[in-house]
Chains A and B, each alone.
Chain A
Amino acid sequence: MIEGFTALYIFMLAAFTGYEVIARVPVILHTPLMSGSNFIHGIVLVGAMVALGHAGTGLERAIGFFGVLLASMNAVGGYVVTERMLDMFKSNKGGR
C-alpha cells in the first residue's frame, strides 16, 4: 500500500524522472515522443479495468465499460501510431 508522504515522494521522483528523460531530446523526435508518452498514459487501462471489475450498480458498470473501452483505444492506438512513426526512422543510419 502506498500512503501519505510515500505517495508524495513517488510523485516527486517520478516528475523529476519525466523531466530529465525528455530534457535533451532532438526536435526531430518531438512528435514520436509525444505520441510515445501518449501511449504510456494508456496505463490508465489497468485502472479502468479495476474500476469496472469492482462496479456494482448498472450505472457504474456502464461508466466502467466506457472507461475500459476508451483506455484500450488510448493504449492500442498510441502504440500503433508511435510504432509506425518510429519505423520510418529505422532505415536512416546514425545522426548528425
Chain B
Amino acid sequence: MGVVIQISYFLAAALFILGLKRMSSPVTARDGIVWAGAGMLVATVVTFFWHGMSNYLLMILAIAVGSSVAWISGKRVAMTTMPQMIALYNGMGGGAAAAIAAIELLRGTNGHSGAVMGLAVIGGLIGTVSFSGSLIAFAKLQGLIKRSIVFPMQQPFNLAVLGTAVVIGALLPFQGSGGVLVFVFFALVLTFGVLMTLPIGGADMPVVISLYNALTGLAVGLEGFVLNNAAMIIAGTVVGAAGSLLTQLMARAMNRSIANVLFGAFGHAPAAASAGESGALKPIDADDAGIMMAYSSKVVVVPGYGMAVAQAQHKIWELAELLEERGVRVKFAIHPVAGRMPGHMNVLLAEAGVPYDKIYDLDEINPEFPTVDVALVIGANDVVNPVARTNPESPIYGMPILNTDQAKNVLVIKRGQGRGFSGIENALFGKDHTRMLYGDAQDMVSKLIQAVKRL
C-alpha cells in the first residue's frame, strides 16, 4: 500500500501545481480549482490506508463535522464577505499545522533528529501565528472588532512576547518528551499572533491575509518535513512561495513595504496630517447627478469597499448599461487594493456581469482622467485621495492612486461625512469640481437610475 500512497501523493502534488498554473489565467481558471480538488481528494482517500493508523472513528467524525460546517458556510456566505472567509479558512489550516507540531513536540524526540524537531517548532510557531492572526483579521473584517487597538510600548511588548516564545521554542527539541513548556510555547505564540494583528488597520488587511496565507503554506511545508510527507512539502512550499509573491505585489501596489504594513503607521499617524486642506463639501441631489452623467461622453466608475458593503454592483452595472444606451462611454477603474482584497472589486463586478474589457486597472486608466467628463466614485476613499500625491506628511503619501481629481467632474457616493478606513481626511471631496451624494450606495445608484430613466 505504501507505494500506492506515494504514487497518489506524487499525482496530487502534480495536480496542485497544474491547478495553480491554470488558475493564473482567466480562461482556464475554472478548471484549475477542479484539478487541484481532484488532487486533494486522491491524497485524502489514500491517507486512510497509511500504515499503523488507528482512531478512525474520531478521524471520520472530525472530517464529517469540519467538511459540513465549511461546506455550508462557504456556500452561504455573500460574495462581499469573501475576504474574511478566506482569512478564516486560512487560519484553520495554520491551526492544523500547529496541531501536528504540538503532537510531535508532546511526544518528544523519539526517532526524530534534533533538526527535524527544530523544523516542527518553527512550523508550529508560524502556523500558530497564522491561526490566531487570521482569526483576528476575520473578526476585524466581519466587524466584530471595530477599532485598531493600540497601547503604549506595544511593539516592545509584542517583541518581548515573541522573544520569550522563541527562546522556549529553542529549548523544546532538547526535551526528552513533552511537558508544560510545550503549552507555554503555544500560549505565547497564540498571544503574539493576536497582538501583532490587532493594531493593523482594515485598509491593510488584504496584505495581511495574503501574508498569513503564505505563512500557513510554509508551516504546512515544514510539518511535511517532520511527517516525511512529500505532498505536504511540495504543496506547502509552492503556496508559501506563491503567497509571498502575491503579498509583495499587493504591498507594492500600495507603495509600502510589508514591514511597514505590519509595524507601520496606520494605527498612529492620521493625526491632523491634512487639516485645513479640504474645502467645504458640496452635496448634489441624485436628479442633477443623473443629468450630469447622461449628457457626458465619458464616465469612469471607481468602486470601493462601500460598493461591496451595499451590494451595489448589480445596480451599478444597470446604470452603466443605461448610460451606454444613451451613447455614453462607461469604463470601470479598479485600484489594485480597492476593497479588502486585491481583485475584490473585479470579483464583484464579474458577479454583476460586467465584461472584462470594460474594467481597467490603474496604469491603463490614469492617463485618461483628464478627458473624463464624470468620475463616479462609489464607496472608495483612500485609493482616490490626492494627498497621496501632494502631501508628504500623509501616511498614504506615495501610494499610487486613481487620479479622479483630474476628471472634469467628480461625483462621490458616500455613506456619511466620516473619514475612510485609514482615518485620513480626503482632499478630493473638498475640491471645487467634486459633488457629494450622501447615502447608501445601492439606494443612491437606484436613484441615479431613476433620474437617467426619466430623461
Residues of chain A at the chain B interface (Cβ within 8 Å): 1-2, 7, 10-11, 14-19, 21-56, 59-61, 63-92, 94-96
Chain A binding surface, main DSSP class: helix
Q: Which residues of B contact A82 (CB under 8 A)?
A: 23, 33
CB <8 Å contact, B245 and A38 = no
Report A48 CB to chain B, min CB distance, Å: 5
Please provide the 3 A-B residue pairs with the shortest distance between their CB atoms, ordered closest to farther: A67-B99, A18-B241, A80-B74
CB <8 Å contact, A77 and B99 = no
Cβ of B448 < 8 Å from any Cβ of A?
A: no
Chain B binding surface, main DSSP class: helix
What mask results when residues 24 to 58 of chain B are scored 1 for a CB within 8 Å of chain A, else 0? 11110110111011001001100110101111101
* In the complex with contacts A44-B97, A70-B99, A11-B92 CB distance below 8 A: no
Cβ of B1 < 8 Å from any Cβ of A?
A: no
Report A35 CB to chain B, min CB distance, Å: 5
* In the complex with contacts A37-B239, A73-B70, A84-B74, A89-B36 CB distance below 8 A: no
In-complex Cβ contact of A31 among B50, B90, B243, B343 (8 A): B343
CB <8 Å contact, B16 and A43 = yes
Cβ of B356 < 8 Å from any Cβ of A?
A: yes
What mask results when residues 223 to 241 of chain B are scored 1 for a CB within 8 Å of chain A, else 0? 1110111111111111111
User: How many pairs of residues, A versus B, come closer than 8 Å at their CB atoms?
Assistant: 370
A92 to B350 CA separation, bound complex (whole angstroms)? 8
- Most chain A CB inside 10 Å of its own CB: which residue of B92, B95, B233, B243: B92
A86 to B49 CA separation, bound complex (whole angstroms)? 33
Report A90 CB to chain B, min CB distance, Å: 6
A84 to B347 CA separation, bound complex (whole angstroms)? 10
| Size class of the B contact interface (CB-based, 8 Å) | 35 or more
1-37 of chain B: CB within 8 A of chain A: 9, 12, 16-17, 19-21, 23-27, 29-30, 32-34, 36-37
CB <8 Å contact, A36 and B67 = no
Report B83 CB to chain A, min CB distance, Å: 8
CB <8 Å contact, A29 and B29 = yes
CB <8 Å contact, B33 and A27 = no
CB <8 Å contact, B234 and A10 = yes
A71 to B12 CA separation, bound complex (whole angstroms)? 17
CB <8 Å contact, A35 and B82 = yes
